């Protein structure tokens, strides 16, 4: 079974994580723009960050046979720095048009302040203008109200719910998200947000329609194999294989494929892998390591890939 991880902050992960994800069956991933842990105080640092996820990370993932896409946006936490936010908004339209950008995101609310609301709305209008999907970050605190409010604002701006992925859902929010016609994303974490076993029970209750599983792996305690482990546990506990395929692959492709930037042929007919290749003079190789070279069509199936 091929898998897609539609929310993975790979800028903070190692090459070992890319290897593990490829071995587990991850053929494509989406890296959303977000807060990096340290507040950015100057717009240039944000521009460099966006340049990294549309450039270097796309290259780095490809060196391990994984197709990399991203979303671009001003995150809710840093929307509260008005000077930074204004500068980022000037740059966003240019990045949103770059190859491999599949959505505006992740955007939404953190503390649900007036500034967060202002820049959330501006970015929804940008997504409408460019006909791009939207990835919503729902708040960690007061999640139910913040999730409802996020969907209310999307509707106020005339967005089609089918173009909006509401991420970080839980048992409190999933029913409303699905009832209102939005895509419901779930981030699988080792101890917070949503665990594997809880996710399996949600699939048992709601099925697979418009539900998307992701790892949201980042610089904190998280697991880059969240999608693969959830898929395996769901199969082990009797969830139909077709449902697992939907929530761990097809729904992400359908939702973000609306951008026109993501299609199955990207990994079914992949380019060659040659780890001698350079990006801006840089290689992923270190210390005389032998490069992996693989012709198109030679992509190996590993014992770790889910059957």
pLDDT digits (tens, 9 = 90+) for 18-45: 999 999 999 999 999 999 989 898 999 9
pLDDT at residue number 301: 47
Domain of 229: which CATH number?
A: 3.20.20.140
pLDDT of residue 303: 47
Low-confidence ranges of the chain (pLDDT < 50): 301-303
Identify whether 100 is part of a domain.
yes
If one counts the domains in the chain, the total is: 1
Bridging pattern class, strands 67-72 and 26-32: parallel
Residue 50 lies in a domain: yes
Residue with tokens 């994800």: 21
Domain hosting 14: range is 3-262
Determine, yes or no, domain membership for 279. Answer: no
In a domain, residue 42? The reply is yes
Decide if 295 is inside a domain.
Answer: no
pLDDT at residue 219, rounded to an integer: 92
For residue 237, what are the CA distances in angstroms to 167, 169, 194, 203, 223?
24, 22, 17, 11, 21
Examine residue 275 and state whether it is found in any structural domain, yes or no.
no
On whether residue 267 sits in a domain, the answer given is no
Please report whether residue 276 resides in a domain: no
């Amino acid at each position: 079974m091929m898998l897609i991880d539609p929310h993975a902050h790979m800028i903070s992960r190692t090459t070992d994580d890319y290897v593990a994800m490829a071995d587990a069956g991850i053929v494509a991933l989406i890296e959303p723009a977000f807060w990096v842990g340290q507040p950015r105080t100057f717009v240039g640092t944000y521009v460099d960050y966006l340049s990294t996820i549309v450039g270097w990370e796309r290259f780095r993932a490809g060196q391990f046979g994984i197709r990399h896409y991203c979303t671009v946006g001003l995150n809710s936490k840093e929307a509260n720095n008005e000077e930074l936010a204004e500068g980022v908004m000037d740059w966003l339209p240019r990045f949103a048009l770059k190859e491999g950008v599949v959505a505006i995101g992740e955007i939404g609310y953190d503390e649900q302040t007036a500034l967060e609301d202002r820049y959330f709305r501006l970015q929804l209008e940008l997504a409408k203008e460019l006909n791009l999907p939207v990835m919503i970050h729902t708040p960690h605190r007061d999640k139910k109200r913040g999730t409802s409010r996020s969907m209310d604002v999307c509707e106020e701006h005339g967005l089609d719910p089918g173009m909006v992925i509401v991420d970080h859902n839980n048992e409190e929010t999933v029913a409303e998200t699905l009832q209102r016609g939005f895509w419901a994303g779930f981030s699988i974490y080792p101890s917070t947000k949503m665990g594997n076993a809880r996710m399996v029970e949600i699939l048992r209750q709601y099925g697979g329609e418009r539900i998307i599983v992701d790892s949201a792996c980042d610089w904190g305690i998280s697991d880059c194999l969240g999608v693969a482990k959830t898929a395996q546990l769901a199969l082990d506990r009797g969830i139909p294989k077709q449902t697992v395929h939907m929530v761990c692959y097809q729904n992400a492709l359908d939702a973000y494929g609306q951008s026109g930037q993501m299609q199955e042929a990207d990994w079914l007919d992949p380019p060659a892998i040659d780890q001698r290749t350079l990006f801006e003079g840089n290689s992923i190789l270190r210390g005389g390591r032998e490069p992996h070279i693989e012709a198109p069509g030679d992509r190996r199936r590993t014992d770790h890939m889910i059957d």
